[in-house]
Amino acid sequence: MSKDTDEPNPEAVGYGKPPKAHQFKPGQSGNPKGRPKGPGSLMKCIMKHAGKKVTVIEGGVEKRMPKMDVVIAAMFGKASKGDVSAARLLATLILAARELQEESAQPGYTDEDLKAILAEADWQAQLAQIGQEQGTHDP
């Protein structure tokens, strides 16, 4: 059984053709809330909460400080009063911070890497010079 397809019916309803009343309006999304965000990383969560500011009273003066500063100030206070575990934790944090700072200050290449890079650059320069002497130019 065949159908006449001479004149397509603009109001036809079927597979891939929902009724006009249920079609998305121009500019309207089929997923307005979008894809939900993932849980994120632990470090990102810690940094988000560590950066939030809280109000503290320090020396009789009200101040707004990031939570991380408040925690570190409290650890220094406990360590200065003789809390051995706080002093040990502070020493560990200070050593870790120094190591991170030294790592970020050092270049990411070893001496052998730099030698290989320079050798490649010399090789490329020699090839370019040979190409110019022979009259060919290879960009």
pLDDT of residue 12: 83
pLDDT of residue 3: 57
Is there a domain that residue 93 lies in?
yes
Is there a domain that residue 26 lies in?
no
Are 90 and 79 contacting, i.e. CB atoms less than 8 angstroms apart?
Answer: yes
- DSSP conformation class of 52: -
Q: How many domains in the chain?
A: 1
Is there a domain that residue 77 lies in?
yes
**What are the mean pLDDT values of the chain's consecutive 10-residue runs (139 residues total)?**
59 85 84 84 90 91 93 91 91 89 74 83 85 69
Is there a domain that residue 118 lies in?
no
Are 67 and 74 contacting, i.e. CB atoms less than 8 angstroms apart?
Answer: no
Cα 78 to Cα 92: distance, rounded to the nearest angstrom = 15
pLDDT of residue 53: 95
pLDDT of residue 71: 92
Cα 64 to Cα 76: distance, rounded to the nearest angstrom = 18
Is there a domain that residue 50 lies in?
no
pLDDT of residue 112: 83
Give the CA-trace dihedral at 21, 24, 26, 30, to 10 degrees.
160
What is the span of the domain harbouring residue 73?
68-107
In the chain, how many H helices and how many E strands? 4, 2
